[in-house]
């Protein structure tokens, strides 16, 4: 099942992917899952840090062929 | 309680404006209370309709122009829109350039004097670019 919205922020640099994610998170409903795609190395550490601080849920994080796939569930 | 971050932008170069915008956008989007004071050579880049880009200082500025780095104006706009950051033009610099608030970009807030800014920034973290 793949019901999450993809936020494609590949080929942009810090803090582009994070800002893209936050823009879509603001529009999402509580319980929605978003998947961020990022080629920015730092996203692997920075995005989970923001998710933790903002009080959302990190569902999964993996890097496939140089692209971070980070799934986040909106918790509030 | 949210952290309070005050950023002072006085240098009109690509690298300095970019770094300030990165701090402002990430901090604001993370829930920090962010105020950005715009003065000296940084201020003209926030005049409505201005198309001139700030000069680069060195290698990083040149690289940023070539790669997909988000423009500093876009990051400041996101800081305001996503995180309620305030962009405050220096009232002295506006006077010198004979500008009013209406001459500035939409995101730019009310003209602010140093006394007010220092008073608001008391006890908070302050970064200067």
* Ordered domains of chain A (ranges, CATH): 4-73 (3.30.110.40)
Interface membership of A44 toward B (CB under 8 Å): no
Partners of B30 on chain A (C-beta within 8 Å) are: 50, 53-54
Beta bridge partners of B9: B38
Peptide bond into A67 cis (omega under 30): no
Per-residue model confidence (pLDDT) at position B1: 67
Cα A8 to Cα A3: distance, rounded to the nearest angstrom = 15
Does the CB of B31 have a partner CB in chain A at under 8 Å?
yes
Q: DSSP character for A4?
A: P
Residues 6+ apart with CB under 8 A from B84: B28, B33
Tell me if B83 sits within 8 A of B22, measured CB to CB: no
- Please, is B85 exposed, middle or buried when counting C-beta atoms within 10 Å of its C-beta (0-12, 13-18, 19+)? buried
- Rounded CA separation B106/B77 (Å): 9
Asked whether the predicted pLDDT for residue B35 surpasses 90, the reply is yes
Selected residues 45-104 of chain B with any CB under 8 Å from a CB in chain A: 64, 67-70, 75, 78, 82
**pLDDT one-digit tens code per residue, A21-69:** 999 999 999 999 999 999 999 999 999 999 999 999 999 999 999 999 9
Kindly provide the ipTM of the predicted complex, given to two decimals: 0.81
Q: Distance between CA atoms of B3 and B28, rounded to whole angstroms?
A: 10
Q: Is A31 left (phi over 0), alpha (psi -120 to 50) or beta?
A: left
Q: Which of B25, B64, B68 sits opposite A15 (nearest CB)?
A: B25
Task: Provide the pLDDT confidence category of residue A4 given band limits of 50, 70 and 90.
Answer: confident
How does pLDDT run across A28-38, given as a tens digit for each residue?
Answer: 999 999 999 99
Q: How far apart are CA B122 and CA B119, in angstroms?
A: 5
State yes or no: is A4 an active-site residue.
Answer: no
Of the candidates B85, B84, B71, B81, which has an alpha carbon nearest to the alpha carbon of residue B36? B85
Of B26, B67, B69, the CB nearest to A18: B26
Gap between the Cα atoms of A14 and A45, Å rounded: 12
């Amino acid at each position: 099942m793949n019901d999450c919205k993809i936020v494609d922020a590949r080929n942009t640099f810090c803090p582009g992917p994070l800002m893209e994610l936050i823009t879509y998170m603001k529009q999402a409903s509580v319980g929605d899952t978003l998947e961020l795609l990022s080629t920015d190395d730092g996203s692997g550490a920075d995005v989970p840090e923001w998710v933790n601080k903002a009080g959302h849920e990190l569902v999964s994080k993996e890097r496939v062929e140089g692209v971070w796939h980070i799934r986040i569930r909106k918790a509030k | 309680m949210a952290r309070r971050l005050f950023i002072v932008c006085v240098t009109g170069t690509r690298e300095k404006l970019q770094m300030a915008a990165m701090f402002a956008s990430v901090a604001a989007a993370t829930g920090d209370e962010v105020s950005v004071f715009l003065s000296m050579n940084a201020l003209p880049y926030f005049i409505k309709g201005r198309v001139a880009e700030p000069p680069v200082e060195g290698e990083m500025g040149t690289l940023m122009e070539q790669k997909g780095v988000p423009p500093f104006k876009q990051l400041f706009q996101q800081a305001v829109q996503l995180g309620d950051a305030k962009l405050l033009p220096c009232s002295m610099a506006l006077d010198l350039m004979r500008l009013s608030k209406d001459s500035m970009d939409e995101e730019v807030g009310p003209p602010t004097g140093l006394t007010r800014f220092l008073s608001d920034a008391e006890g908070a973290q302050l970064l200067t670019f």
